[in-house]
């Protein structure tokens, strides 16, 4: 029962990874400590969105050592850079067993390499058996478990080398620019894609849609001692934000209420200067209807407060996403966060599964248990075999 704990305790005695055995035609032996060692190394490497180069290089090297062919597909920097700034190239990784090609792949396993800021170092609590650190849940646990599951099935001969591929993308936390870039790369028409995100080891039956926008106010600056000579942009913006906070938006029985989060506000120059401009960045989790419905309600709600306010939607957004959940032996749930699922083109079955809780992701206490990580390996193996009709 506690064999996985004993193995992890031995692993934790050293900060270095245990030597890996390259796969050959019979595929090298592997045990459960591989998922812990790989997970640890992934979490130890900072990979905040738009800075995924180092983790991409590590994972590419790791997969090559396991006898995978690895393709690195460049993705443009998300943020514009000054001429004197250097940017290490970010890229998506597509990997498949070296004894096969990616052309006939039926099943794709995928997760994202990037994390939200700030970087939090890896740590392990030997009393609670919890692993902590940025990305320990979202989504490096998924990467480690998927890779370990794939190698285990290949090593045992349970699946053919030509049947599966691995895809690890950048930029999921920035709106999915990595997955969208992958669409431009020639790849098979996959039958099944298994996405990795924290789902408490349940199959997600769907997730809410997503819509992001900015509200901007342009005022007139001046000396704060003479406020009647200017127009305070902060004072223009605040009533609109209050109205948005109470704006009725679509709902549904499956996903509940659409929620709106005023995540960031910036305004003014100094306390003794009339604010000449102000803006707020806002995220909407859509529970019902197409994004155009929510867009129209938002614009009308803002303009009703002040016609001069500008509303800019970052993208078209998307409505609620229904996901396949027909594999027996899993509990199911809906989730309120967004994923790369809507950004991957193709007519394929879609599963969403992973260890850890989204309630811990993005937080200063992000963590998951050793047992969840071990069970995720078995969960991914079960999903792969079900996708292949085994």
Residues with active-site annotation: 172
Query: Taking the CB of residue 117, how many other CB atoms lie within 10 A of it?
Result: 12
CB 212 within 8 A of CB 294: no
Could you tell me the two tokens for 243?
């109205």
CA distance readout (Å), 13 to 7, 16, 126, 376: 10, 9, 11, 24
- Write out the E strands in 244-380: 251-252, 256-257, 259-267, 273-274, 277-286, 310-313, 321-322, 332-335, 349-353, 367-369
Concatenating the DSSP letter of every residue in 25-92 gives TT-----THHHHHHHHHHHHS--BTT--HHHHHHHHHHHHHTTEEEEEEEE--SS---TT---PPEEE
Rounded to whole angstroms, the Cα distance separating 53 from 59 reads 10
Answer whether 190's CB lies under 8 Å from 383's CB: no
């Amino acid at each position: 029962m506690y064999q996985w704990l004993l193995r992890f305790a031995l692993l934790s005695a050293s900060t270095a990874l245990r030597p890996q055995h390259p796969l050959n035609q019979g595929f090298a032996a592997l045990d459960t400590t591989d998922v812990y060692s790989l997970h640890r190394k992934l979490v130890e490497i900072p990979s905040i969105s738009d800075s995924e180069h180092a983790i991409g290089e590590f994972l590419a090297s790791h997969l090559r050592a396991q006898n995978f062919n690895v393709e690195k597909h460049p993705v443009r920097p998300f943020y514009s850079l000054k001429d004197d700034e250097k940017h290490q190239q970010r890229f998506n990784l597509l990997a498949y067993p070296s004894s096969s090609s990616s052309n006939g792949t039926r099943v794709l396993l995928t997760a994202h390499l990037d994390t939200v800021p700030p970087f939090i170092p890896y740590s392990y609590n030997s009393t609670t058996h919890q692993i902590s650190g940025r990305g320990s849940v979202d989504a490096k646990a998924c990467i480690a478990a998927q890779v370990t599951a794939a190698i285990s099935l290949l090593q045992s001969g349970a699946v053919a080398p030509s049947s599966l591929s691995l895809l690890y993308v950048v930029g999921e936390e920035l709106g999915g620019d990595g997955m969208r870039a992958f669409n431009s790369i020639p790849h098979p028409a996959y039958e099944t894609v298994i996405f990795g995100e924290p789902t408490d080891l349940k199959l997600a039956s769907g997730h809410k849609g997503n819509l992001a926008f900015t509200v901007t106010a342009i005022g007139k600056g001046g000396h704060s001692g003479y406020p009647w000579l200017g127009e305070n942009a902060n004072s223009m913006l605040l009533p609109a934000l209050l109205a948005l906070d109470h704006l009725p938006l679509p709902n549904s029985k499956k996903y509940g209420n659409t929620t709106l989060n005023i995540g960031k506000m910036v305004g003014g120059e100094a306390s003794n200067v009339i604010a000449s401009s102000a803006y707020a960045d806002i995220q909407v989790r859509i529970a019902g209807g197409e994004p155009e419905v929510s867009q129209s309600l938002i614009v009308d709600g803002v303009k009703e407060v002040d016609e001069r306010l500008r509303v800019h939607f970052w993208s078209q957004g998307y409505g609620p996403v229904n996901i396949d959940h027909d594999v027996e032996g899993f509990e199911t749930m809906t989730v309120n966060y967004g994923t790369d699922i809507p950004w991957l083109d193709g007519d394929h079955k879609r599963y969403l599964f992973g260890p850890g809780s989204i309630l811990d992701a993005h937080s200063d206490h992000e963590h998951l248990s050793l047992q969840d990580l071990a069970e995720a390996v078995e969960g991914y193996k079960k999903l792969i075999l079900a996708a292949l009709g085994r």
